[in-house]
Amino acid sequence: MTEGILHRSFLDLHELMARREISSVDVTRATLERVQRLDPDVGAYLLVTEEQALAQAVEADRAYAEDRANALTGIPFALKDIISTLGIRTTCGSRILENYVPVYQGQVAGRLLESGAVLIGKTNMDEFAMGSSTEHSGFFPTRNPWDRDRVPGGSSGGSAAAVSAGMAAFALGTDTGGSIRQPASLCGVVGLKPTYGRVSRYGLVAFASSLDQIGPIARSVPEVAAVLGVIAGHDPHDSTTLRAEVPDYRAGLTGEVRGLRIGVPKEYFPDTLESGVAAAVSQGLASLESLGAHLVDISLPMTDAALSCYYIVAPSEAMSNLARYDGVRYGLREQAADVWTLFDRTRERGFGAEVKRRILVGAYALSKGYYEAYYVKALEVRALVQRDFEAAFQQVDVIAGPTSPTTAFRLGERLDDPLSMYLADAFTLPANMAGICGVSVPCGLAGGLPVGLQILGPKLGEQTILRVADAYERSAGFNVLVPPLTFGAPA
């Protein structure tokens, strides 16, 4: 089977498998061969689970033969390496967990495997999900399949790059401040951040517990909807999951947006927005208007404050969560004569520079004398960000604008400028602060690089934002953006 089929929708692959025209073993082998050929140049994977994948594919073909398959059965997928996998190494992109093998299965991993999906491997990421470029991995950077001199975004850059390059039909990432949507935008794929609590975080290694959310990345909106339908729902292992019915997200993709009110926030179109991004997003909005939607100018005045607020709340929670990595219970352990030296040596060697930076910021914000001035004040600002969105959704059904202020930037370009790196998430992190949902869908190219249109919805508004994204996708024809891959060993 040629690799060309790997750029088809996995929903099409499911139909072909159901008709016995192809097998999961065929698709899985083709995917593994593509990973072997392309990934040395991309660096999307930290671990490839070839033996397990082929065994799962055999079982998937048995499920098709016995007419007990679903839309994900036999479909190759990848997991961001921050999601625990039973018996399979989970590093979080950090040297401190380089040899850590979980003894339990993350809820989303379990649901996908129970559905018959085939795990190809674990994807690269910014260490502990702290970054916007996947250059902060403790092992190696991931490169954008559209231009290997550029970043794929982050922190779920490995997952987005794998899907973009056809090395996985879909993948899961995590979104704490835009870490699904921003790399999806930069790699030309679709990425969804669900409402906080819509998807279980059981088995997700925590960065910032009040912000983290797991979500799907795929090449089209219907595929993202199919994956969300499997991973969403209440989980007794995670008390933050919502007890809300999971709708049929695919059935809601009617293509109809006539009469829908789409808010366009002026704060998401600053003078610093790249001209090519602005043009592509404006064209995308015009396309939705031509389908009968109404564009409404709105304001989200706390947008700038949200960025500052985020970089107090997230590091504070990270500092607390990362205190467990002490060299005593699991992970890296450095030899030392006393426990304090053990802590120091283990963390010095195990954590990278960006993680250390955020731990220090969090420790400062939570320290005596600064707690009320920084952390408590940030929580007050967070409430104002939430009110911004609540007020906006009284006027409009969804909010739309650019996902990222730029296209993919060059590797190394922002490594020595943390503030510039943090600004990459200026349009995505407010949604995390408010706990709402958002999706990035490709809306064209600027300078030969993908641009993402971000659509935000109220809490549990996934069905609406997916309907808008799908309608745009059908109209614009950008549902399959294939990077011009000019690298890799000959097929």
Catalytically active residues, by annotation: 80, 155, 179
Can you tell me the distance from the alpha carbon of 38 to that of 51, in angstroms, rounded to the nearest whole number? 19
DSSP, collapsed to helix, strand or coil, labels residue 482 as coil
Rounded to whole angstroms, how far apart are CA atoms 229 and 222? 11
Q: Are 5 and 22 in contact (CB under 8 A)?
A: yes
**Tokens linked to 6:** 């790997």
Q: Which residue has the tokens 């593509």?
A: 34
Q: Work out the number of other CB atoms within 10 angstroms of the CB of residue 448.
A: 11
Q: Which of 288, 300, 286, 221 is nearest to 257 (CA)?
A: 288
Residues 243-256: b if buried by 16+ CB within 10 A, e if exposed: eeebeebbeebeee
User: What is the distance between the alpha carbons of residues 248 and 229, in angstroms, rounded to a whole number?
Assistant: 7
- Main-chain phi, psi angles of 6, to 5 degrees: -70, -15
User: Which two tokens mark 214?
Assistant: 């797991």
The sign of the torsion formed by the CA atoms of 186, 187, 190, 196 equals negative
Amino acid present at 467: R
Contact yes or no for 375/363 (Cβ under 8 A): no
The per-residue b/e assignment along 122-143, b for 16 or more CB within 10 angstroms, e otherwise, is bbbbbbbbbbbbbbbbbbebbb
Strand partners, 147: 144
The CA distance from 162 to 178, in Å, is 18
Question: In this structure, what are the phi and psi dihedrals at residue 221, rounded to the nearest 5 degrees?
Answer: -65, -45
